[in-house]
Amino acid sequence: MDDYNSSTVYFRCNICDFLFQEDPERFPVKCFQCGSENVSRA
Ligand SMILES: [Zn+2]
């Protein structure tokens, strides 16, 4: 187990196409720009 919480990955919003980094264990992942949960891993 590794509790060091620094492993972020890229996600892309399916609504506004914004690309951002977020921790994949943090659900739901929301777009920082429009607030949608409709995002995919990039
Ligand atoms: Zn968005």
Residues 1-42: tens digit of each pLDDT: 555 556 899 999 999 999 999 998 988 999 999 999 999 999
Contact 19, 10 (CB under 8 A): yes
Please tell me the predicted confidence (pLDDT) of residue 3.
Answer: 56
What is the model's pLDDT at position 5? 58
Q: Is 12 helix (H, G, I), strand (E, B) or coil?
A: strand
Q: Rounded to the nearest whole angstrom, what is the distance from the C-alpha of residue 3 to the centroid of ligand 1?
A: 29
For residues 32 and 4, what is the distance between their CA atoms, to the nearest angstrom?
23
Ligand 1 centroid to Cα of residue 1, in Å, is 32
As residues whose CB is below 5 A from the ion ligand 1, the structure lists 13, 15-16, 18, 31, 33-34, 36
